[in-house]
Amino acid sequence: MATNTESVELVGDEVVGNVARAVLFAAATAATAPVDLVHPLAPNVPITLQTLWVYLSGIVLGPIWAGFAFVLYLLAGLIGLPVFAGANAGLGVLLGPTGGFLVGFPLAAVTIGFVTHGTDGIDPLSEVPLPRMVVALVAGSAVVYAAGAVGFSLVQSISLLASVSAVVVPFLPVAALKMAATVAIVRSDAIVAR
């Protein structure tokens, strides 16, 4: 009686590579959790490098895998790993004043990936026109800040306009710096998508 000893590939190499990259982006985002600064005009919301990783993930991973990376990131925080700003974790953080920003991360990553690459796969980064990349980053940033403002408004029981004034307007220069850094990193050939 002969037995077949050929290996069976359950998951393709491309999927394994994409999962690995998504996990690396989630881990890199988590690694920056302890590094946060108090914004003098908005002390309730810290300045972190985590949105930089949201921006980079959307451009490098595309919409599906960037979204997956930040769903993993949120799940890690929900189960108690200290991955949120200030090395915090738990449902209380998601339901707190900065929870809207966190919920906005996967949505922004998907938005950036979609605007950058569409749905037909990931374009080589060298072929993504700079204006499209900038529009993607602005759109993603708008998603993060919109979600953050809505969450902050609900938790603090203030108007949406007051929330935008408190937690969006002071951060616009910081967001612009992060977007510029993202473009510089991607255009420096420091990142190879495939």
Rg (the chain; Cα; Å): 18
Kindly state the tokens that stand for 38. Answer: 């108090």
For residue 194, the model assigns a pLDDT of 47
pLDDT in tens, the chain (194 residues): 556 656 656 667 778 877 887 887 787 777 777 767 666 666 667 778 889 999 999 999 999 999 999 999 999 999 999 998 888 899 999 999 999 999 999 999 999 999 999 877 788 888 889 999 999 999 999 999 999 999 999 999 999 999 999 889 988 998 999 999 999 999 886 665 44
pTM, full prediction: 0.85
What pLDDT does 177 receive?
A: 94
What's the confidence (pLDDT) of residue 112? 96
pLDDT at 30: 76
**Nearest of 111, 180, 187, 194 to residue 145 by alpha carbon:** 111
Q: What angle do CA 140, 88, 100 make, to 5 degrees?
A: 35
pLDDT at 16 (0 to 100): 81
Q: Does domain 15-187 have CATH number 1.10.1760.20?
A: yes
The residues pairing with 46 across neighbouring beta strands, listed in sequence order, are 38
Contact status, residue 105 vs residue 92, Cβ threshold 8 Å:
no
The answer to whether 89 and 77 have CB atoms below 8 angstroms apart is: yes
